[in-house]
A and B are shown apart, each in its own frame.
Chain A
C-alpha cells in the first residue's frame, strides 16, 4: 500500500491484521446469535470464501493499478459473481442447519 515507506507499510499491515481479528470476532458473534453451530470445517469454508473474495478484490484493483481498467473490472465481475453466488449458497447452507434445528 505504501511501498516506499518502511514506516507506513508495516503499520498498514498491522492495522489490516487488527481489522481481520475484529471481523472474525464479530462474525463469530453474529453466527452465535443466529444459532448457527460452527465446527472446524464450517469455519474453514467461511474463511476460505472470505479469502477468495479478498483475493478477487485485490486482483481486480492490482490490474486497475496497472492501468488495465477493463481487465480489472472484468476480473472482479466474472470470478466475483461466482464467489458471491458461492457465498450465498454457503450462507444458506449454514442457516439451513439452524432452521432444521429450530423446526425440530
Chain B
C-alpha cells in the first residue's frame, strides 16, 4: 500500500514538476524580456562588455559595400545638414543685417554652388521649400502638443544643451588641420610596443569613457568631405596626410525613448554622449603625443561616418542608410577621431545585413516620408559605390512635420529595424544563428514572424493629424509621459 502511495505521489509530483517548470520558464522568459539591463550600452560597462558579439567568425577581407567605378569624394553640399547650414547662413541675418536670400527669391538668386546642387537634383529645391512650410506649421501646432510632450521636449533640450553655441565640447577646430590637430600635443612620446597595442589601448580607453562599440579603420580618401573643411570654411583640399587612422565609436540612443519615436525620442542623448567621448579621446591621444581631431554629431564631421565604421568592422549598411551593428542594430550613433598614431585597423564583417535588407523592407514600409527605397537591391551607384540611398530631402520634411517643438528628427527607421533589439537570449539566438545559416531559411522565418506577429503603425500614422495620428512605434515609457507626473 505504502509503495503504491509513494509511487502515486512521485507520479503526481512529476506532473506538478512539469507544470511548475513550464511556469518557471514563463517567469524567467518574462523577466528576461522586461529586464532594462538587457538594453545594450548607456554606460553600463566601462570595459567593452557591450561589444559582446564575437566578430571573429564573420571577419572578411573586403567590406560588404560594392565598388563600381572610380570612387569620388562627397562634396559637403551633398550633405543635407551642411547644405542647410549654408542656406541658414543666407536666410538668417547675423548682426541685424538683411538676410542675403529668402525662399521667395527663388533658385536663381542662390550662390552658384548651391544653385548647381539643386539644378543637378530636380525636386530637391521644392522639397526644401515644403520642409520650410512644414516647419512653420510645426511651430504653430506645437501649442497643441506642448503639454503631451512636455517632458520629452525638456529631456531632449537638456541633452542638446552641451552641443549648442561656442562653449560646446569638443571645441570646433580652428585654422588648418596641420595646426589645430597638433595643438596641445605632448612633446614627450613613449615608444609604442606595436600598432596592435595602440589599437587595443585606444579601444579600451573609448570604452572607459562610455563608448559601447569601438573600432579602428584606415582613412580612405573617398570618405573625406570635399568643398568645406572645419576650421577653414569653403575650400577644396587634399586629405591631410596625418589623417591616417580613425578611431570610430558608437553609442545607442536610450532604448525606451528610441522605440517611442518620433515624438518621444531625441537624437541629442546619443549625440552629447558621443561628443564627450570623442572630445576626451582627442585630449587623451594628444597627451600620448599624437595628432587628434574629433568628428562629432550633429554636423561637426569632415568624414562620412557609416562607411568608415564598416571599414572598422563595426557593422554593415542597412536599407535605411544607417550602420547596422550586431549589438545595437540600427540604434547606432557614430563619431570618430582621426589621428596619426600608429594603429592596426580592424577587419570588416559580414553578418548578412545586406542580404537580410533585400528581403525585409520594414523601414521602407514604416518611413513616414517615403524616403527609403523599396527596390530589391541597392539601385544606385553613388560616387563609385552601389548602395542603399535614402532621400534626405524627404526625410528632412518629416523632421519638420512630426509633433515636436522643432525639427529634431524622426528616427522611426531605427526603432522598427528588427536588428535594434535587446541583449537577451531570444534576440541573441537570432543574432548568432542567422549569419551562420547559409540557406537563408532562418532569416526568412524570422522575418515572416517579425512581420506577422509585431504591430507596425504604418508610415503616415506617425505624422500629426490630418495626415496621421501621432503614433509611436513602441509605447512611451512612463518617465517620459507628462500625464504621469503633472496635472493636465
In angstroms, Cα B165 to Cα A15, docked, is 58
- Size bracket of the B interface: 35 or more
Report yes or no: A30 in contact with B14, Cβ–Cβ below 8 A. Answer: yes
Shortest distance between the CB of A63 and any CB in chain B (Å): 6
Report yes or no: A57 in contact with B26, Cβ–Cβ below 8 A. Answer: yes
A29 close to chain B: CB less than 8 A: yes
Q: Which of B31, B425, B452, B455 lies at the interface centre, i.e. has the most chain A CB atoms within 10 A of its CB?
A: B31
CB neighbours (8 Å) of B454 from chain A are 68, 70-71
A58 nearest in chain B by CB position:
B29
Report yes or no: A19 in contact with B33, Cβ–Cβ below 8 A. Answer: no
A1 close to chain B: CB less than 8 A: yes
Shortest distance between the CB of B19 and any CB in chain A (Å): 9
Q: Which of A3, A53, A55, A65 lies at the interface centre, i.e. has the most chain B CB atoms within 10 A of its CB?
A: A65
B474 nearest in chain A by CB position:
A67
A79 nearest in chain B by CB position:
B449
A74 close to chain B: CB less than 8 A: yes
Q: Which of A73-92 contact B (CB under 8 A)?
A: 74-75, 78
Stretch at the interface among A20-28, A36-44, A93-101: A20-28
CB neighbours (8 Å) of B35 from chain A are 3, 65
Report yes or no: A62 in contact with B424, Cβ–Cβ below 8 A. Answer: yes
Summed over the interface, the residue pairs from A and B with CB atoms below 8 Å come to a total of 125
Interface residues on chain A, number (Cβ under 8 Å): 42
Report yes or no: B33 in contact with A27, Cβ–Cβ below 8 A. Answer: no
A45 close to chain B: CB less than 8 A: no
Report yes or no: A61 in contact with B21, Cβ–Cβ below 8 A. Answer: no
Report yes or no: B449 in contact with A60, Cβ–Cβ below 8 A. Answer: no
Report yes or no: A57 in contact with B475, Cβ–Cβ below 8 A. Answer: no
B486 close to chain A: CB less than 8 A: no
Report yes or no: B11 in contact with A61, Cβ–Cβ below 8 A. Answer: no
CB neighbours (8 Å) of B113 from chain A are none
**B 312-354 binary contact with A (CB < 8 Å = 1; else 0):** 0000000000000000000000000000000000000000000
CB neighbours (8 Å) of B27 from chain A are 1, 61
Report yes or no: A60 in contact with B21, Cβ–Cβ below 8 A. Answer: no
B69 close to chain A: CB less than 8 A: no
Report yes or no: A4 in contact with B25, Cβ–Cβ below 8 A. Answer: no
B424 nearest in chain A by CB position:
A62
B455 nearest in chain A by CB position:
A70
Report yes or no: A26 in contact with B29, Cβ–Cβ below 8 A. Answer: no
Shortest distance between the CB of A46 and any CB in chain B (Å): 11
Report yes or no: A16 in contact with B426, Cβ–Cβ below 8 A. Answer: no
User: Known contacts A53-B22, A66-B33: does B424 contact A22 (CB below 8 Å)?
Assistant: no
User: Known contacts A2-B31, A33-B11, A65-B32: does B17 contact A26 (CB below 8 Å)?
Assistant: yes
Report yes or no: B31 in contact with A19, Cβ–Cβ below 8 A. Answer: no
Shortest distance between the CB of B34 and any CB in chain A (Å): 4
Shortest distance between the CB of A7 and any CB in chain B (Å): 15
User: Known contacts A12-B28, A26-B11: does B33 contact A61 (CB below 8 Å)?
Assistant: yes
B422 close to chain A: CB less than 8 A: yes
Q: List 8 A-B contacts (CB under 8 A).
A: A3-B31, A24-B14, A26-B17, A29-B14, A58-B26, A62-B426, A63-B426, A63-B453
Q: Which 3 A-B pairs have the closest CB atoms?
A: A26-B14, A65-B33, A58-B29
Binding site for A on B (CB under 8 A): 7, 10-18, 20-22, 24-35, 37, 422, 424-426, 449, 452-455, 474-475
